[in-house]
């Protein structure tokens, strides 16, 4: 028996020595895991020795060998924990190194003079849109982001408590009277400002930032961008609207794209439509809303509906840029990660 125990003890010492050496030299946490399994796993070397405990008939010797196995388990576990924390530090440092954005790099790099900042994807898209519409004979206008209830809703044919107001989850400014000042929920209020200020005929686009109580997700941001279009002239018809949308689609996206209008509802246009564009692969993307300017809106803008008619459209620039550049998630465009933003030139 005694010789059994001493041969088992020798085997145990060998297992412990081997395991400790394997732990110490494990190059990665995965290698460490494998070394630990080899020593302490279900079918590991120590389990095999443990199984031999039953063969020791002398109770004292069995207890003694059992204790040796327990201390061996503790020693191996402690060595593994120590090595794991060392390796985790090394691996974390390496990861930080890989993901580090060195903002001084731009100044220190020899090619510093060639590396330039770029405009944000949304700014680039807005400028490209402006170029296309200028080419179609439009002028550019802007309006305020903090807007009165009158321009954002009332003049757009939505008197107080009109149910269509709930189409826009509105952010209110603390003002007296309550609810009279909002962060504009769309660029449509600029239509009214332009009608009031510019003598017709009007061919204008109005890009800008808008705000809604929307939870950020892949296709929604609480702060995003729209571009509004407004045409006021004599004898403007729905065919002019459809033709303008199609001309824009081809000029902006390319001649292999086309557009369609689907019936919809907006209080400030009648009739109203959603407009979609078709990609060359045959799939459709919804871009925004449009329609013939409602007579009440012309009146709110100070124009005589008997004399003037027109159309308006509005669509989301961020979503359009997302589609055009194959961005999966709108939130990526606002994460301020230059590695992401630098892809778009």
Q: Which of 189, 200, 289, 301 binds ligand FA5 (CB under 6 A)?
A: 289
The SS3 call for residue 247 is helix
Side-chain half-sphere CA neighbours of 132 within 13 A: 19
Smallest gap from residue 106 Cβ to ligand FA5 (A): 31
Query: 329 CB contacts (<8 Å, ≥6 apart)?
Result: 218
Within residues 96-135, the interface with ligand FA5 by CB under 6 A covers none
Strand order in the sheet with 171-172: 146-148, 181-183, 171-172
Q: Which of 65, 153, 252, 315 binds ligand FA5 (CB under 6 A)?
A: 315
- What letter would DSSP give residue 326? T
Size of the site for ligand FA5 (CB under 6 A): 23
Beta pairing, strands 139-140 & 202-211: parallel
Q: Which stretch binds ligand FA5 (CB under 6 A): 30-38, 193-201, 300-308, 311-319?
A: 311-319
Nearer to ligand FA5, 44 or 288 (CB): 288
Residue 151 binds ligand FA5, judged by CB under 6 A = no
Q: Which of 44, 288, 301, 310 binds ligand FA5 (CB under 6 A)?
A: 288
Smallest gap from residue 266 Cβ to ligand FA5 (A): 4
How many Å apart are CA 188 and CA 171, to the nearest integer? 16
Residue 290 binds ligand FA5, judged by CB under 6 A = yes
Give the DSSP H or E segment for 232. strand 223-233
Backbone angles phi, psi at 304, to 5 degrees: -85, 115
Strand order in the sheet with 269-278: 139-140, 202-211, 223-233, 309-316, 284-293, 269-278, 258-266
Two structure tokens written together for 46: 């120590």
Q: Which of 44, 200, 310, 316 binds ligand FA5 (CB under 6 A)?
A: 316
Position of minimal CB gap to ligand FA5: 316
- Which of 261, 228, 227, 256 has the alpha carbon at shortest distance from 242? 261
Residue 248 binds ligand FA5, judged by CB under 6 A = no
Two structure tokens written together for 271: 């009739």
Q: Which of 5, 80, 170, 226 binds ligand FA5 (CB under 6 A)?
A: 226
Residue 220 binds ligand FA5, judged by CB under 6 A = yes
Q: Which of 221, 231, 261, 300 binds ligand FA5 (CB under 6 A)?
A: 221
Q: Which of 186, 192, 244, 327 binds ligand FA5 (CB under 6 A)?
A: 186
Within residues 199-218, the interface with ligand FA5 by CB under 6 A covers 212, 214
- Which of 271, 270, 243, 272 has the alpha carbon at shortest distance from 259? 243
Smallest gap from residue 162 Cβ to ligand FA5 (A): 14
Q: Which stretch binds ligand FA5 (CB under 6 A): 16-24, 95-103, 109-117, 221-229?
A: 221-229
Give the interface with ligand FA5 as residue ranges (CB under 6 A): 186, 188, 212, 214, 220-221, 224, 226, 228, 266, 269, 286, 288-291, 312-316, 318-319
């Amino acid at each position: 028996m005694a010789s059994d125990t001493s041969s088992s003890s020798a085997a145990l010492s060998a297992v412990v020595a081997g395991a400790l050496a394997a732990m110490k030299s494990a190059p990665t946490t995965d290698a460490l895991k494998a070394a630990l399994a080899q020593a302490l796993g279900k079918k590991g070397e120590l389990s095999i020795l443990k199984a031999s405990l039953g063969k020791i008939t002398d109770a004292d010797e069995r207890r003694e060998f059992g204790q040796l196995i327990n201390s061996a388990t503790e020693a191996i576990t402690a060595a593994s924990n120590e090595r794991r924390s060392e390796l985790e530090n090394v691996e974390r440092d390496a990861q930080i190194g890989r993901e580090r954005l060195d903002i001084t790099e731009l100044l220190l790099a020899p090619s510093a003079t060639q590396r330039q900042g770029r405009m944000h994807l949304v700014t680039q898209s807005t400028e490209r849109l402006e170029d296309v519409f200028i080419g179609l004979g439009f002028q550019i206008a802007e309006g305020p982001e903090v807007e009165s209830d009158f321009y954002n809703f009332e003049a757009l044919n939505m008197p107080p408590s009109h149910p269509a107001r709930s189409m826009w989850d509105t952010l209110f400014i603390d003002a007296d009277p309550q609810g009279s000042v909002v962060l504009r929920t769309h660029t449509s209020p600029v239509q009214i400002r332009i009608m009031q200020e510019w003598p017709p005929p009007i061919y204008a686009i109005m890009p800008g930032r808008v705000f809604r109580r929307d939870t950020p997700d892949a296709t929604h941001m609480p702060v995003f961008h729209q571009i509004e279009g407004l045409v006021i002239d004599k004898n403007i018809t729905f065919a002019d609207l459809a033709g303008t949308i199609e001309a824009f689609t081809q000029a902006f996206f390319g001649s292999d794209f086309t557009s369609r209008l689907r019936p919809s509802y907006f209080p400030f246009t009648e009739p109203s439509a959603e407009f979609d564009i078709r990609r060359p692969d045959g799939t459709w993307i919804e871009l925004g809303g449009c329609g013939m300017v409602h007579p009440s809106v012309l009146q709110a803008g100070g124009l005589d509906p008997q004399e003037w008619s027109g159309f308006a459209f509005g669509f989301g620039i961020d979503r359009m840029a997302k589609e055009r550049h194959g961005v999966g998630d709108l939130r990526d465009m606002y994460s301020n990660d230059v590695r992401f933003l630098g892809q778009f030139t």
